[in-house]
Amino acid sequence: MVINKEGKPVAALVDAQLFERIRRMQSRFDALFQLMEAGFSKVPEAEGMADIDAAVVQDRQAQRQVLAW
């Protein structure tokens, strides 16, 4: 069930088991993010952003090739 305020969703009621699963997933995501952050802590921001941009371009090219089949 979604709770709306002025026509916009502001909260949701979910099954307690689903909520607990979401919390566990969030904890795993946070741990993974911390590992990634530590691994890239010595990489200059500009270099990291350039690497991300290059990876995005490469992925989009690969997706276009798949769609062209």
What is the distance between the terminal CA atoms of the chain, rounded to a whole angstrom? 41
CA dist., res. 20 & res. 50, Å (int): 37
CA dist., res. 38 & res. 29, Å (int): 14
- The residue range of the domain holding 7 is 2-68
Strand partners, 3: 11
Indicate the pLDDT class of residue 66, thresholds 50, 70 and 90. confident
Considering its fold, how many domains does the chain have in total? 1
Task: Write out pLDDT tens, residues 28-62.
Answer: 999 999 999 999 999 999 999 999 999 999 999 99
Tell me: pLDDT of 67 over 90: no
Strand partners, 5: 8
